[in-house]
Amino acid sequence: MLRRCSVDFLESLALHRDRPVQRLNWGCGAHTAEGWINSDIKGEGNVDLVADIRKGLPLGTGSIEYAVSIHALPEFGYAELDGVLKELLRVLKPGGVLRLALPDLQNGIDAYMRGDSEYFQVDPEAASSLGGRFILHMLWYGYSRTLFLPDFAAELFEKAGFTEVRQCSFGTTPSEFPEITALDNRPEESFFIEARRPYVKPDGEWDAYNRGVPDEPPVRILEMTHSTPNEQVSGHFRVEEVDSRLELVGWALGTDLPIVQVEVVSDGEVVARTPPVVERPDIAKAFPETAGAGTSGFQLAIEPNGAGVSRLAVQAALSDGGAAPLGELQVETARRRRKGLFRRGG
């Protein structure tokens, strides 16, 4: 049953963790946020994880504390919604929370009925009539394929296996994750809704519970952190799923010393490396005084040669023989919980 919450519905509880909270900003587009795993089907800007959710996110089952999505779900057709929500359910930890901001069809209808043409944020040259502006706004130039009302969204959540479905106000949450509201925007045209992955499985097997979820990818990320910028390097990388491997795409620029290689290290051994030689005119524009900024891009693959879990360090090898951290990945291949193996990089 759908329940509304207000700022005083439930007192927020502080999170205590000895590691960074794993939180997902799914369908982020260009609206990335620091401290989140920013995932989108397009690898534009500072997107960290490039993946099509319909094929499965390369994230470990139960690896995410909470996830947020702002106006991304409408881009899927009705037949795809259950699979999308079940994949988001899969990556959440038991007790994890999904928060969605969705365009409110009722608000649009109300604006149309009162003749409020200014409510609809579309180009007047694209549609000048009230009805045309209403339709174009709600379908957002054809990008949106599904329309939403709160009770319909709640029904979809429950069918996918979520519990504790609640409609929330802008900037408020009934959950123990106060920062889950940090990405809230577009309050005039949106409603906000949260739901939780159950702490325990329902009757039956997990396979039945997760029916309709895409097959899990052969390589998946359990945890990802970025360490830049720091005193020695600036940069960023994102991860793309390519067949049975993960590709790191990004840029790295030394503060005082040139970067010779970008390396992936597992158990003290370099398993992949590449020099930063890819042209990046955007970085050259951002760092006009720094030598090598125009060719600071890199792309390298990490390919498993065994099954298990590995923690990988991504680092920049500097010209003086030292190294500076770019970030870390904890990666799992297959399902056996033993140390993972990776092919040595050339």
**Residue of higher predicted confidence among 202 and 42:** 42
Query: Confidence band (pLDDT; 50, 70, 90) for 246?
Result: confident
Q: Which pLDDT does position 202 carry in this prediction?
A: 52
pLDDT at 337 exceeding the cut of 90: no
Write down the pLDDT at residue 212.
Answer: 45
Q: Which pTM value belongs to this model?
A: 0.77
- Tell me which DSSP letter residue 318 carries: E
Q: How many angstroms separate the Cα of 162 from the Cα of each of 1, 62, 92, 321?
A: 11, 14, 11, 51
Task: Give the pLDDT score at 164.
Answer: 96
- Name the least confident of 84-98, 192-206, 257-271, 297-311: 192-206
CA nearest neighbour of 58 among 207, 206, 214, 216: 216
> What confidence category does residue 204 fall into, taking pLDDT thresholds of 50, 70 and 90?
very low
Instruction: For the chain, give the percent of residues with pLDDT over 70.
Output: 85
Region 312-340 average pLDDT: 81
The answer to whether residues 323 and 262 touch, using CB atoms and an 8 Å cutoff, is no
The pLDDT of residue 341 is 44
CB–CB of 247/238 below 8 Å?
no
Predicted confidence band of residue 20 (pLDDT cuts 50, 70, 90)? low
Domains identified in the chain and CATH numbers? 3-104+148-209 (3.40.50.150), 219-333 (2.60.40.10)
What confidence tier does 332 reach under pLDDT thresholds 50, 70, 90?
Answer: confident
Rounded mean pLDDT of 105-112? 96
Q: Are 132 and 226 within 8 A, CB to CB?
A: no
In this prediction, residue 217 has a pLDDT band, given cuts at 50, 70 and 90, of: low
The sign of the CA dihedral 221, 54, 206, 341 is negative
Per the model's pLDDT, the better-predicted residue between 192 and 291 turns out to be 192
Q: Where are the alpha helices (DSSP H) in the chain?
A: 78-91, 105-113, 130-139, 150-160, 206-209, 281-286
Q: What is the mean pLDDT of the chain?
A: 86
Q: Provide CB contacts within 8 A for 207, sequence distance 6+.
A: none
What is the pLDDT, as a whole number, of residue 345?
Answer: 44
Percentage of the residues of the chain whose pLDDT score is greater than 90: 70
Question: Looking at residue 242, what is its pLDDT?
Answer: 77
For residue 223, the model assigns a pLDDT of 87
Q: How far is the C-alpha of 304 from the C-alpha of 264, rounded, in Å?
A: 12
Cβ burial 98-108 (10 Å sphere, 16+ → b, else e): bbbbbbbeebb
pLDDT at 94: 94
Distances (CA, A) of 235 to 20, 153, 172, 175, 232: 19, 39, 33, 34, 10
d(CA 45, CA 250): 10
The pLDDT of residue 1 is 47
Confidence check: pLDDT of 4 > 90: no
| Beta bridge partners of residue 67, listed in sequence order | 24, 98
Confidence of residue 336 (pLDDT cuts 50, 70, 90): very low
pLDDT tens, position by position, 117-133 = 999 999 999 999 999 99
Q: Is the pLDDT of residue 49 over 70?
A: yes
- Residue 40: pLDDT above 70? yes
The pLDDT of residue 201: 60
**pLDDT tier at 216 (50, 70, 90 boundaries)?**
low
